[in-house]
Amino acid sequence: MSNRRTQVVVIGGGQAGLAAGYHLRRLAIDFVILDAQTEPGGAWQHAWDSLRLFSPANYSSLPGRLMPRQAGEEYPDAAHVVEYLRDYERRYELPIQRPVRVLGVHREGGMLRVETDSGAWHARAVISATGTWWRPFLPAVPGRRDFGGRQLHTVEYRSPLAFAGRRVIVVGGGNSGAQIAADLTLDGHVDVTWVAQRPPRYLPDDIDGRALFDVATARRRALDAGRSDTGGVASLGDIVAVPPVRAARDAGRLQARPMFSQLTVGGVRWADGSEAGAEAIFWCTGFRPALSHLAPLNLRGPRGHIPTDGTRALGEPRLHLLGYGDWTGPASATLIGVGRTAREAAREVTGLLS
């Protein structure tokens, strides 16, 4: 196995890794991006067929290059994002190695050793940008093992076709749950029960991803200035009323029931004893950051996060975390938001190297 050296290893070649690469290149840093996928596009390659961005193309752009409009669509689909990312990495000649999976990051003398399934890299700094799609979260609910049907997560959803004539329970009152429930109910061939922990909270119809970025930024500024927490995006609501969700809601197809108390062999049961049968349950219950490759550094804080100051890991200044959520920078888990935190991370890393 080969053993290579570079100044910076970026782990992950999705949008966050590419944004980091863009800024490292501008700062003339020697780096490599290691990505476990065989093709460009990160998690967008695996999105369901009807998924649309919650912002128009020009509000979904990485640094340096506006996302072009998708013909006939105000809100682009995932395939359009994949093409944009493919073009982006080619345009900026980003040094990406695929498929390379990072197995572990270790301290070794003054360097960090990045152990992969195709050899080791030694670097003076690491930017981890591995996203969350790869760690679906399913809550612990009584009876989970008893249910006789299929249990699936958001990451496994493609289209309603596979569920025609079936009873499906969709769990989750966030964007994924609302969008998948809307999609499944579209042509009336699937019997859908939508379940949410609390009554669905839609953002106002005129608010899309454009406003979310501003709200996340205002919150971060308030917190940094020692002012009280504005509540950020969560204070506005949980669900962006993208056109298909709005249509389903207005047609009365999105009536959420409260969370059930347990799974049974044939479906679910609520605390009042009522039941619903199902052949499949979709858990649209979110994700956790994909950080297992950082376990050897022993940095873990609460809820699987690693404590950071901006993007820099508190316990390891040579490590930056990019794109996982607001905890690594306001709106850094969005196409438009990741550019700014990527720039800050690249600058900090450059400062460290000099």
C-alpha separations of 100 from 10, 12, 39, 318, 350 in Å: 12, 9, 11, 21, 25
Which residue number, 168 or 216, has a Cβ lying nearer to ligand FAD?
Answer: 216
Measured distance CA(19)–CA(68) in Å, rounded: 17
CB 16 to ligand FAD: min, Å: 4
Which residue number, 104 or 266, has a Cβ lying nearer to ligand FAD?
Answer: 104
CB 284 to ligand FAD: min, Å: 9
By the criterion CB under 6 A, which residues form the site for ligand FAD? 11-17, 34-37, 42-44, 53-55, 60, 101-102, 129-131, 133-134, 176, 209, 290, 293, 323, 333-335
Closest to 219 in 3D by CA, of 209, 211, 227: 227
Which residue number, 281 or 338, has a Cβ lying nearer to ligand FAD?
Answer: 338
Which residue number, 234 or 265, has a Cβ lying nearer to ligand FAD?
Answer: 234
CB 307 to ligand FAD: min, Å: 19
Which residue number, 139 or 142, has a Cβ lying nearer to ligand FAD?
Answer: 139
CB 54 to ligand FAD: min, Å: 4
Collapsing DSSP states into helix, strand and coil, what is residue 331?
Answer: coil
Which residue number, 16 or 186, has a Cβ lying nearer to ligand FAD?
Answer: 16
Spatial contact of 21 and 65, defined as CB atoms under 8 Å apart: no
What are φ and ψ of residue 250, in 5° steps?
-70, -25
Q: Which residue is nearest to ligand FAD (CB)?
A: 14
CB 176 to ligand FAD: min, Å: 5
Spatial contact of 332 and 16, defined as CB atoms under 8 Å apart: yes
99 prior amide bond cis, ω within 30: yes
CB 220 to ligand FAD: min, Å: 17
CB 313 to ligand FAD: min, Å: 16
Measured distance CA(327)–CA(162) in Å, rounded: 37
DSSP string, 280-301: EEEE---B----GGGGGG----
CA triplet 107, 111, 113: central angle to 5 degrees?
A: 60
Helix (H) or strand (E) holding 345: helix 338-353
Helix (H) or strand (E) holding 124: strand 119-128
Which residue number, 262 or 292, has a Cβ lying nearer to ligand FAD?
Answer: 292
